Amino acid sequence: MLKGILVLDCTGRPGWLAGRLLADLSAEVTKIENPDAEIHTSDWRAYNVNKRLTRLDLGSSAGQRELDRLAASADMLLATFTPGTREAVLFQHGRLSAINPRLIVVAITPFGLTGPKADWIASDLELMAASGAMSLAGEPGGTPLRVSAPQSHGWAGAQAAIGALAALAARSRTGRGQCVDVSAQAATLVALAHAPTFVDVDGTTPTRAGAFMTGRSVEGARFRVFWPCRDGFVNFILYGGVAGRRTNTQLAGWMRECGAPLGALAQIDFAEWDPTLATQGQVDALEAPIAAFFSSITKRQFLEETHRREMLGYPVSTVADIAGDPQLSARGFWQDVAAANGEVERHCGCFAIVDGERPPLVSRNDAQVEAPRAAQVT
User: For residues 155 and 254, which CB has a smaller minimum distance to another protein in the complex?
Assistant: 155
User: For residues 56 and 110, which CB has a smaller minimum distance to another protein in the complex?
Assistant: 110
Q: How far is the CB of 65 from another protein (least distance, A)?
A: 25
Q: Assess contact for 7 and 74: CB atoms under 8 A.
A: yes
Dist. CA 3–CA 269, nearest whole Å: 58
Q: Assess contact for 98 and 79: CB atoms under 8 A.
A: no
The residue type found at 286 is L
Q: How many residues does the chain have?
A: 378
Residue 163 backbone phi and psi in degrees, to 5 = -60, -45
Q: How far is the CB of 185 from another protein (least distance, A)?
A: 7
Q: How far is the CB of 20 from another protein (least distance, A)?
A: 8
Q: What's the per-residue H, E or C state across 224-293?
A: ECEEEECCEEEECCCCCHHHHHHHHHHHHHHHHHCCCCCHHHHHCCCCCCCHHHCCHHHHHHHHHHHHHH
Q: How far is the CB of 2 from another protein (least distance, A)?
A: 5
User: For residues 30 and 183, which CB has a smaller minimum distance to another protein in the complex?
Assistant: 183
Dist. CA 196–CA 278, nearest whole Å: 27
User: For residues 118 and 288, which CB has a smaller minimum distance to another protein in the complex?
Assistant: 118
Q: How far is the CB of 84 from another protein (least distance, A)?
A: 12
User: For residues 289 and 315, which CB has a smaller minimum distance to another protein in the complex?
Assistant: 315
Q: How far is the CB of 22 from another protein (least distance, A)?
A: 8
Q: Assess contact for 207 and 135: CB atoms under 8 A.
A: yes
User: For residues 61 and 172, which CB has a smaller minimum distance to another protein in the complex?
Assistant: 172
The residue type found at 298 is T
